[in-house]
Chains A and B, each alone.
Chain A
Amino acid sequence: MTPLTETGWLGPWGALVAAPFIGVAFGWFLERGGLGSAPKLAGQFYLTDLTVFKVMFSALVTAMLGAFWLDRLGVLQLDLVYLPETFVLPQAIGGIVFGAGFLVAGLCPGTSCVAAAAGRRDGLGVMAGMLIGVAIFNTAFEWIAPIYSATPLGAVRLTDLAGTTRGAGIAAVTVIALAGFAGARHVERPVHVRGRLHAALAIVAALLATGAAIAEYGTDEVISAPELADRIMSRADDQRIFDLRSPGAFEQFHIPGASHVTVAELPQIPLAPQSSVVLYGDRRRTVIDAVRVLRSQGHRDVRVLRDGLYEWLARVYEPRLAVDATPAERSEFERAASLSRFFGGVPLAGVPRGDVPQGYWNGHPRSDALLAAAAGQSAAAIRRRGC
């Protein structure tokens, strides 16, 4: 099971040893593709040479499809891979400033290192400029800070916002990239050197992408933790909650009323077709498989607990209120505290701001360190996000 650093196979030192090897391969392929030469990169902006687009998007699609399928096959736990946090405004402005610099420099930070290593003095110039630019940013940080931390959305994927499955999102990105590759042949001078190879690669990508969309089809219904809490409190009939984690984790802590089940056991469980089912687990693949099993048996109302036990702990079982809470946070906490007491949890008021769990429900980036702390203190050792 991977990532190796998350599952304990590779310690911090091991990761540092791996770094230069990964870097060598990265630099090698960038140079092989011609991305160590500024005029070639700049050609992207004049549509005379689309190498940047081709290399970048074939790399993106390869990694995206590879990561999805390795996750499906149980090799890689994709939810443990670091997902950059979204800050809409600074990333839009930063992108504009960066794009202007990219155009003028003809190289981006990574490719400037490749160019410099290949003897290009302009590459060294870009590297020097990068250092100066970062130093300017640091010096002016006091003034930049309000923009820098504006409009946070947390660690969020396009598919979370769109409300679709990740498989469907991956398929959409692949289709757009392949359409772009096809279009690129008409924009550049048409040189069909490796037409057959390219067609074969495109077919493989299209098949993997279609497979991804099909593998997750119909598994996009989610429920938030407070919604689930309300449902449990209203003692709705025909409601079932299934915990798909290990029996040990279930013994340690589970949502009241949940029963432990494995995907293999699901078909044997007597369940009325009209019952509402909520599923949660700590492996996305398992949860998706469970939804599909229930759907294939004709159950319509099957939902996945959004963010699994993480959101449950943070918003229902153990809500926290910062010392310097805003009135909005205070009223949200009052509501959460009554839920918490109902479920035998421990609402904590007056904790330091840094100890308040964050997620997209309060518009702040999720901190995995806080999650680990929360899980350690209250319930089971629940890693990062559940499903």
Chain B
Amino acid sequence: MRRSYTDPYLAGIGVGLVLLTAYIAVGQGLGASGAFASVVASGTAAVQGTMHAAASPAIAPYLPSGIASPLQDWLVLELAGVMMGGFASAWLAGRLHRVAERGTGVSVRQRMYAATGGGMLMGVGAKLARGCTSGQALSGGALLSVGSWIFIASCFAAGYALAPLARRLWR
């Protein structure tokens, strides 16, 4: 049986308590995009060789020898946990479905292009902003970090400004 979603405010308080636990346990917030950066850095090192990859200042911090390494490993394990938690919750609520969720006038192929293209933009944007909705907006925002609030403001401003152009995707 498919259960309805939890009240968003209660789910939000749950996320907030998890974030607070992360501050208390490991002295840093939650994250997501950093794990993707770590995976790409390891992949680059595997393909091009560690020496070559480490020569890039964009990649070096994410390699095992790099300064950000423990943090990045932490994020990869945390994000693996996110997938397990998401799976468990969806399973127990009867929400496991092998579909591509999309707006009504959109084919699966179009949806997959949009998803991948949107992901690419977010990959570039998150790298530039040094974090995404988890690491920058949520974790930094709760600490009142100036850059986090700049990111929140520009992210949603762009989303709303461009929303009329993307209306067809979500009708």
Contacts and interface: CB of A to CB of B under 8 A. Distances in A.
Of A38, A75, A109, A118, chain B has the most CB atoms within 10 Å of the CB of A109
Contacts of A136: 120, 123-124
B120 A158 contact: no
A373 interface: no
A119 B99 CA distance: 7
Interface in B112-126: 112, 114-126
Contacts of B160: 45
Interface string A27-51: 1111111111111001111100011
B86 A104 contact: no
A121 B107 CA distance: 13
Main secondary structure of the interface of A (DSSP, over half): helix
Interface string A118-134: 11111101111111111
A245 B8 CA distance: 43
A325 interface: no
Given A20-B81, A130-B36, A157 B86 contact: no
A46 B160 CA distance: 8
B17 A66 contact: yes
A145 B60 CA distance: 14
A24 B27 contact: no
A113 to B, nearest CB: 5
A190 interface: no
Nearest to A93: B128
Contacts of B12: 29, 33, 54-59, 62
A10 interface: yes
Contacts of A116: 83
B3 to A, nearest CB: 9
A49 to B, nearest CB: 9
Contacts of B137: 56, 60
A121 B122 contact: no
B120 A101 contact: yes
A28 B98 CA distance: 19
Nearest to B14: A29
A135 B44 contact: yes
B127 A134 contact: yes
Of A56, A67, A88, A156, chain B has the most CB atoms within 10 Å of the CB of A56
A199 to B, nearest CB: 11
B118 A90 contact: no
Interface residues of B, number: 122
B159 A102 contact: yes
A193 to B, nearest CB: 7
Interface in A92-120: 92-120
Contacts of B84: 20, 23-24, 27, 117
B73 to A, nearest CB: 6
A114 B82 contact: yes
A362 interface: no
A12 B77 CA distance: 13
Interface of A: 2-6, 10, 12, 15-16, 18-39, 42-46, 50-51, 54-64, 66-67, 70, 75-76, 78, 80-88, 90-123, 125-138, 141, 144-145, 147-148, 153, 155-161, 166, 169-170, 173, 181, 193-194, 197-198, 201
Contacts of A19: 26, 74-75, 77-78, 81
B83 A114 contact: yes
B129 A91 contact: yes
B23 to A, nearest CB: 5
Contacts of A35: 11
A108 B32 contact: yes
23 contacts: A16-B74, A23-B78, A23-B82, A25-B18, A27-B84, A27-B88, A29-B15, A59-B19, A78-B143, A84-B145, A87-B130, A94-B126, A98-B155, A99-B156, A100-B118, A114-B82, A118-B97, A125-B119, A129-B119, A129-B122, A132-B123, A136-B124, A138-B56
A137 B124 contact: yes
A321 B73 CA distance: 35
A27 B86 contact: yes
A82 B28 contact: yes
A201 B123 CA distance: 36
Contacts of B57: 141, 145
A133 B123 contact: yes
Given A5-B26, A51-B8, A141-B56, A129 B85 contact: no
Contact of A194 (B7, B13, B111, B149): B7
B54 interface: no
Given A3-B26, A38-B102, A20 B122 contact: no
Nearest to B69: A12
B123 A83 contact: no
Which 5 interchain pairs have the tightest Cβ spacing? A133-B123, A129-B119, A23-B81, A105-B118, A62-B16
B170 A62 contact: no
Given A26-B81, A98-B151, A193-B7, A84 B89 contact: no
